[in-house]
Amino acid sequence: MAGKCQGAAARIQANYPKALYFHCAAHILNLCVVGACKVQSVQNMMGFLKEISLFFSNSPKRQQELESQIMEVTDSETNKRKLVDLCRTRWIARIEAFEVFESLLSSVVNSLEVISEGARAGWNVESATMARGLFHSIMKFEFLITFVVVKKAPCYIKGLTHLLQKKTLDICTAYGEVDNVKLSLAQVRQTIDIVHKEWYQAAVTIGDKIHAPEPSISRCCGRQSNRSNVPGDSPEVYYRRLVTVPFIDELLNHLDNRFAISHIKAVCTMKSLMPASFMTSVGDLGSSMGELDVKTMGLDDFEFYLDDLPSADGLPQEMHNWVNKWRRFKGAFPHTPADCLSYADETMYPNINCVLRIFCTLPVTTAECERSVSVLRRLKTYLRSSMGQERLSSLALLHINQSMTIDFDAVINSFSRKHPRRMILKDILSTCIDT
């Protein structure tokens, strides 16, 4: 789709240069997390979590043992009885799996310890061997510190991933929040010593809770290819260089690279048309104010759309009237392009109205389109697997427009007029009521 030479976007732009390509912001954010989780320690931790989840979910007997251990833990503050599997596509959804795993960690450790005893506790050799390996993996401090870091750091973008899936979201608001998240993570990177110390203490607390061994430093050598080989004077410094710094750096690099799209940054300058934006920069304008230049209001990037404006020559004067309109406005300024568009009369402000309409139609996410695909499982079920395309499209329209009020009498009359010789239709509802 996004190939620069032969991709669909490149072929469309060859004929229509103004058809800009916008990658779904929600998918971009997901790819950023995917790239950051390619750190070796993070991959190992993710693999262990998945194996532990499958270890209990694939066997009712093991799951029953886990539930019995959960009931014995009196200080458990959750009503969860099962581990949540790691989502394969939406990586941000794994935060919920991390939270459930942390709340059930003591019960998981106790269950693995009981199962690892093998025949003495009534378990077969295969279950005991797998439980013994998973138990030793959890008890390693590298697993615990990596788990804490991967659980804490993505919390900065947890709200952003839900925001980027909203129906009513303009592109400036979306990328403005992305910049805020990037700024927060950059501040975390600048104060990584303080932040890592807090996360390190959290991992130590978890280790004490499950009676894990004390943190230690792996042996370093001259050349190492199968595991991390970073120097460190203390365990805290060692794991900061091993896990926290690489993970935060990778996350920041992917956010900078994937969201740094030139035409999106240019389009985001359209927010200078918003009253809440330009009134702070213009300030109190005198009554002797002359004509406004396009660059004065930060509209120099609108040159890309000048050919689409009804009368581009009058844009500076129109902006002058637009500013004075909001200087005299009493009340709260609109903060979204859709709300602002209702104030831009097409007769009085034709150019601004045109720009705002373009602004409102710029895509941010494809989450809504994917929701329509997810709805298909409610329409084309196993009982209706041989449904034709015409019927499927009709049912989809009925589902999408289910809030509309349908006049059944009008539908029956229309059907009877189209097919008068098929049958004589009667008003069944009124007949039932009369009887």
Same domain? For 239 and 149 the reply is: yes
Same domain? For 316 and 189 the reply is: no
Same domain? For 183 and 319 the reply is: no
Same domain? For 175 and 302 the reply is: no
> Of 39, 40, 433, 2, whose CA–CA distance to 252 is shortest?
39
Rg (CA), the chain: 30
Q: Quick check: is 7 in a domain?
A: no
Per the structure, the count of domains in the chain is: 3
Same domain? For 137 and 275 the reply is: no
Q: Quick check: is 222 in a domain?
A: no
SS3 annotation, the chain: CCCCCCCHHHHHHHHCCCCCCCCCHHHHHHHHHHHHCCCHHHHHHHHHHHHHHHHHHCCHHHHHHHHHHHHHCCCCCCCCCCCCCCCCCCHHHHHHHHHHHHHCHHHHHHHHHHHCCHHHHCCCHHHHHHHHHHHHHHHCHHHHHHHHHHHHHHHHHHHHHHHCCCCCCCHHHHHHHHHHHHHHHHHHHHCHHHHHHHHHHHHHHHHHHCCCCCCCCCCCCCCCCCCCCCCCCCHHHHHHHHHHHHHHHHHHHHHHHHCCCHHHHHHHHHHHHCHHHHHHHHCCCCCCCCCCCCHHHCCHHHHHHHHHCCCHHHHHHHHHHHHHHHHCCCCCCCCCHHHHHCCCCCCCCHHHHHHHHHHHHCCCCCHHHHHHHHCHHHHCCHHHCCCCHHHHHHHHHHHHCCCCCCCHHHHHHHHHHHCCCCCCCCCHHHHHHHC
Q: Quick check: is 1 in a domain?
A: no
Same domain? For 274 and 200 the reply is: no
> Of 197, 172, 224, whose CA–CA distance to 337 is shortest?
172
- End of a domain among 361, 378, 411? 361
* Res 174: pLDDT: 85
Q: Quick check: is 417 in a domain?
A: yes
Same domain? For 249 and 282 the reply is: no
Q: Quick check: is 46 in a domain?
A: yes
Same domain? For 164 and 177 the reply is: yes
* Res 428: pLDDT: 57
**406 CB-contact burial (10 Å; exposed 0-12 / middle 13-18 / buried 19+):** exposed
CA–CA separation, 87 vs 46, rounded Å? 11
**What would you measure as the largest C-alpha separation in the chain, in angstroms?**
94
Same domain? For 28 and 177 the reply is: yes
Same domain? For 69 and 185 the reply is: yes
Contact between 202 and 244 under an 8 Å Cβ cutoff? The reply is no
* Res 298: pLDDT: 45
CA–CA separation, 166 vs 174, rounded Å? 10
* Res 184: pLDDT: 94
- End of a domain among 361, 376, 400? 361
Range of the domain at 322: 265-361
Same domain? For 256 and 271 the reply is: no
**Sign of the alpha-carbon dihedral angle for 229, 233, 236, 241:** negative
CA–CA separation, 23 vs 171, rounded Å? 12
Residues ≥6 apart with Cβ < 8 Å to 390:
none
CA–CA separation, 149 vs 72, rounded Å? 29
Q: Show pLDDT as tens, one digit a residue, over the chain (435 residues).
A: 777 778 888 888 888 888 888 888 888 888 898 888 888 889 899 989 999 999 998 888 999 988 888 888 755 555 778 888 887 777 767 788 888 888 888 899 999 998 988 777 778 888 899 999 999 999 999 999 999 999 998 889 888 888 888 877 888 788 888 889 999 999 999 999 999 999 999 999 999 998 888 888 877 666 665 566 777 788 899 899 889 999 999 999 999 988 877 666 666 667 777 887 766 655 444 444 444 444 445 455 577 777 788 887 888 888 888 888 888 888 888 877 888 888 888 889 988 888 888 888 888 887 767 767 777 777 887 777 788 888 888 888 888 777 788 888 888 888 778 776 655 555 555 555 555
Q: Quick check: is 225 in a domain?
A: no
CA–CA separation, 357 vs 309, rounded Å? 11
Same domain? For 196 and 322 the reply is: no
Q: Quick check: is 28 in a domain?
A: yes
Residues ≥6 apart with Cβ < 8 Å to 178:
25, 29, 160, 255, 259
| Structure token pair of residue 394 | 């009709």
* Res 273: pLDDT: 79
Q: Quick check: is 6 in a domain?
A: no
Q: Give the C-alpha distances (Å, rounded to integers) separating 1 from 17, 28, 255, 257, 325.
A: 16, 14, 20, 18, 43
* Res 395: pLDDT: 83
